[in-house]
DNA sequence: TATCGGCCTAATGT
DNA sequence: AACATTAGGCCGA
């Protein structure tokens, strides 16, 4: 089935479910645009009713999805590229999407492996199809997850988007896909040098970042001071030297990269592990968050405190991480992303353990 | 080396 | 209606 203005590739929902992946707390900068009329109907939103948009480098990428197809198109700041060049641009967008969603990884075979090794997973796996790890920009990921501490997904999303609106010039504006009267503006993620300036802490605090405001400014300043801001000249998108240095951590070992990340203010073990998994290719890393603790105590034989709430200690973190790694194996971090749907399901269907 | 109180804020629970 | 707890924790003592 064709969609006017969009390119497409065949891609089954079991490999990628945008609605699940883009809301599961990995990335906080996507616009998820729906048509009000059909939102009330509990029937699954299809490619005609929901569009996902992200400002990616020099363009806004728009995505829609049907059960077997991914639709994509790119919008540029005016003037739009000539139609002779448009094909090349869409080709580039597709390459970026393959990289961002790591489409070379076969999720179905991973699910099969996890289900084979893990009764809990096999029991629930049909219920959370298409949930995979994104390969995000390390700098954006670092700041986003500093925001995540002691926080919830909806607030983190507001904070990250507010930060982009405050500190980046708009890339472009375009109309809402389902209500053309509404104009939406898209902002890139601001570079380290912008967030390193000293008044940023105060401003972010005023924007509701709480105690994380200073962590962000200080982390940005540490990066800029240590690795500089030189960047190749580019009209709409550039990458500063410290961002490039950060991205180079992908080439280091997990332990080395983690050690570097832990030096930043506002980055502890859990946040470092999120960054390793979601932007630095460390597919085996399991960030142990409150949801993972709940699952570990509920389904995998960890004993919580008698009063219901277990408080985290470095030792407990290590124990849970090690245990789940031994169950899920090489792609353990990928397996762990289903924790939120798993938890909501196991409320309905309790009574499972290894 | 381990533990503990404090920290911003908004939403939900008691 | 106040008050406590929770949400993808981290820092400093």
CATH number of the domain bearing residue A270 = 1.10.340.30
Q: Is residue A339 part of a domain?
A: no
Q: What is the pLDDT of residue A354?
A: 43
DSSP A77: S
Which nucleotide has the least CA–C1' distance to A271? Answer: C9
The answer to whether A117 CB sits below 7 Å from nucleic acid chain C is: no
Average confidence (pLDDT) over A174-194: 96
Q: What whole-number percentage of chain A has pLDDT above 90?
A: 77
Q: Is residue A328 part of a domain?
A: no
pLDDT at A140 over 50: yes
Q: Is residue A291 part of a domain?
A: no
pLDDT at A40 over 90: no
Distance CA A318 to C1' B2 in A: 14
The answer to whether A42 CB sits below 7 Å from nucleic acid chain C is: no
The answer to whether A268 CB sits below 7 Å from nucleic acid chain C is: yes
Q: How many domains does chain A have?
A: 1
pLDDT in tens, A282-315: 999 999 999 999 899 888 888 765 444 667 899 9
Which nucleotide has the least CA–C1' distance to A210? Answer: B8
pLDDT at A120 over 90: no
What domain range includes position A230?
7-104+134-282
What value does the mean pLDDT of chain A take? 92
Report the SS3 class of residue A54.
strand
Q: What is the pLDDT of residue A307?
A: 45
- What predicted TM-score, i.e. pTM, was given to this entire model? 0.95
Query: Do residues A353 and A120 touch, judged by C-beta distance below 8 A?
Result: yes
Which nucleotide has the least CA–C1' distance to A151? Answer: C7
Distance CA A149 to C1' B7 in A: 11
Q: Is residue A123 part of a domain?
A: no
Q: Is residue A333 part of a domain?
A: no
State the catalytic residue, choosing from A117, A119, A123, A270: A270
Q: What is the pLDDT of residue A309?
A: 62
The answer to whether A333 CB sits below 7 Å from nucleic acid chain C is: no
Alpha helices (runs of H) in chain A, residue ranges in sequence order: 18-21, 36-39, 83-100, 107-117, 119-124, 138-147, 153-167, 192-196, 200-206, 212-227, 241-248, 254-261, 269-279, 290-299, 314-328, 332-336, 339-348
pLDDT band of residue A344 (cuts 50, 70, 90) is confident
pLDDT in tens, A328-340: 999 999 999 988 8
Distance CA A155 to C1' B12 in A: 14
> For the residues of A208-261, what is the DSSP string, one character each?
T-TTHHHHHHHHHHHHHHHH-------SS----HHHHHHHHGGGS-HHHHHHHH
pLDDT at A39 over 70: no
Q: What is the pLDDT of residue A36?
A: 73
């Amino acid at each position: 089935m064709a969609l006017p203005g969009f390119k497409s590739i065949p891609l089954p929902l079991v490999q990628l479910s945008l609605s699940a992946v883009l809301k599961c707390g990995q990335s906080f900068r996507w616009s998820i645009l729906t048509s009000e009329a059909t939102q009330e109907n509990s029937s699954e939103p299809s490619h005609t009713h929901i569009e996902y948009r992200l400002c990616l480098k020099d363009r806004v990428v728009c995505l829609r999805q049907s059960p077997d197809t991914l639709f994509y198109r790119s919008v540029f700041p005016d003037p739009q590229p000539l139609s002779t060049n448009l094909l090349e641009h869409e080709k580039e967008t597709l390459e970026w999407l393959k990289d961002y969603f790591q489409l070379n990884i076969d999720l179905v075979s991973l699910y099969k492996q996890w289900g084979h090794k893990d009764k809990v997973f096999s029991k629930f796996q049909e219920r959370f199809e298409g949930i995979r790890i994104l390969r995000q920009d390390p700098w954006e990921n670092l700041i986003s997850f500093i925001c995540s501490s002691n926080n919830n997904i909806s607030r983190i999303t507001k904070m990250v988007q507010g930060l982009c609106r405050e500190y980046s010039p708009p890339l472009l504006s375009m109309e809402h896909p389902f209500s053309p009267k509404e104009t939406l503006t898209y902002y890139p993620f601001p570079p380290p040098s912008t967030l390193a300036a000293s008044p940023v802490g105060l401003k972010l605090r005023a924007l509701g970042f709480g105690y994380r405001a200073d962590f962000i400014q200080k982390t940005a300043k540490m990066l800029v001071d240590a690795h500089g801001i030189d960047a190749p000249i580019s009209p709409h998108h550039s990458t500063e030297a410290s961002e490039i240095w950060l991205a180079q951590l992908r080439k280091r070992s997990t332990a080395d990269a983690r050690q570097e990340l832990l030096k930043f203010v506002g980055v502890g073990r859990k946040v470092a592990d999120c960054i390793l998994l979601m932007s630095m290719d460390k597919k085996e890393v399991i960030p142990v968050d409150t949801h993972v603790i709940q699952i570990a105590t509920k389904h995998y034989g960890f004993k919580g405190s008698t009063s219901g709430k277990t408080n985290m200690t470095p030792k407990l973190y290590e124990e849970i991480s090690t245990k789940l790694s031994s169950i899920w194996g090489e792609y353990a971090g990928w397996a762990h992303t289903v924790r939120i749907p798993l938890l909501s399901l196991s409320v309905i269907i309790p009574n499972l353990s290894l």
